Structure 1
Amino acid sequence: MKLGVEAKLEIHELLSRASYAYDSRDLAMLESCFAEDASLTMRIAGGDLAGPFAGRKAIMELMSGSMAAQTDVRRHVVSNIFFEDSEEGVRVNSFLTLIATEDASTSLLTTGVYQDTVARDEAGDWHLLARHIELDNAY
C-alpha cells in the first residue's frame, strides 16, 4: 500500500497524540489511539519480552498502572518516523526519547524504538493495531 502525504501526516499525528495523551494522563485520548484488538509488547535493555498485552483493555490497564506509579512529569518525544508496507497494515518505525522532570530537575530517562502497525477503522480513522517498544536501558 503506497501511502500519500495526507495519510502519513494522519499517522504522524496518531503517534504524537498517543504520546501527548500519556504525558498529560488523558486516558480517554490514549485509549482512542488503540484499536479494540490492539496488542503491545516491550523489551527493556535486551531483557525478556513483556507481553503481549492483548486488547485495548489490557493495554490501558498497563498504561494506567504505570501512570499511577510515576511521581515525575514525562515527555515522550517521537522522532525519525518512517513507513513500511506490511500484510497486517502499515508499519511505522520511530525513535523514542523519554524525558522526565521531578523536583525541578529534568533528565533523560531512556531512549528506544517504537515498531508500530497501524490500520484504519471503518470510519477511516487510524489506530495503533500493534506496538512493540524496545527500550535501550531500564530507568
Structure 2
Amino acid sequence: MTAEPQQAVAHYAHALDELNVPELEAVLTEDTTWTFTMPGQGVLGPFAGRTAVLEFIRDGHTAQAGRVRHHLGNVVVTATDAATAEVRAYLLQTRNTGESIQTISTGVYTFSLRRSDGEWRIAELILTLDNAL
C-alpha cells in the first residue's frame, strides 16, 4: 500500500515539470492546499483549492527560465490508513538553461494524501525550502 502514495507523489513531480495540467488535476484533490516556507521570505500561501494551485503553477512556469526539474528523494510514507497517507520527501530543484545546469533549491516536502475514487490524491502540500529562490 505504501507504493501507491509514493507513485502519486512521483506523478505530481513529473506533471509539475511538464506542466501537464490534466495529470496535475488528477493528482490533486479539489480542496487541496499548498503552503511554502522560504528562509528570509516567510510563508507563502496557503493557496487553497485546485483552481488556485493550478494558477500558481502556471504563473511559475511562465516566470521560469530554462528547464526546471523537481527531483524527489528519500520518499517515505510516514503514516497511512485505508483513506489517508502522509509522504515526506527531500527536494532537489535544478534548472538546465542549455548552457549550464544549476541547483536552484533544496527542501523538504510533506504531502498529505487522501484516497478518492480509488486513487491517491494530494490534499495538502507543505514545502519547507532550505534556501530562498
User: What TM-score do the two structures reach when normalised by structure 2?
Assistant: 0.91
The structure with the largest strand share of the pair is: 2
Q: Which consecutive residues of structure 1, in runs of 5 or more, have no partner in the other structure?
A: 1-6
- Classify the secondary structure of the residue corresponding to 1:94: strand
Q: Deviations over 1:86-110 (max 9, x none)?
A: 7993111110010110132111111
The within-5 A match list for 1:128-139 is 128-139=122-133
Structure 1 runs (4+) greater than 3 angstroms displaced:
none
Partner of 1:113: 108
What's the % identity of the aligned pairs? 27
Cα contact 1:98–1:108 (8 A) shared by 2: yes
Find the counterpart in structure 2 of residue 90 from structure 1: 85
Pairs within 5 Å for 1:1-139: 7-45=1-39, 47-85=41-79, 89-121=84-116, 123-139=117-133
In structure 2, give the amino acid aligned to 1:116. F
Tell me the CA shift for residue 127 of structure 1. 0.2
Query: Quick one: which amino acid aligns to residue 117 of structure 1?
Result: S
Q: Give 1:85 deviation, angstroms.
A: 2.6
Instruction: Give 3-state SS (helix, strand or coil) of 1:52's partner.
Output: strand
Counterparts of 1:103 and 1:37 in 2: how far apart (Å)? 37
Over the aligned positions, Cα root-mean-square deviation in angstroms equals 1.7
Deviations 1:59-78 (A, max 9, x none): 11101110111121011111
Aligned CA distance change for structure 1 residues 73 and 30 (closer, same or farther; 3 Å): same
For 1:71, what is the secondary structure of its paired residue? coil
| Ranges in structure 2 where 5+ consecutive residues have no aligned partner | none
Alpha-carbon distance in 1 for matches of 2:50, 2:5: 18
Deviation at 1:46, TM superposition (A): 5.5
TM-score with structure 1 length normalisation? Answer: 0.88
Shift of residue 47, structure 1, vs aligned partner? 3.4
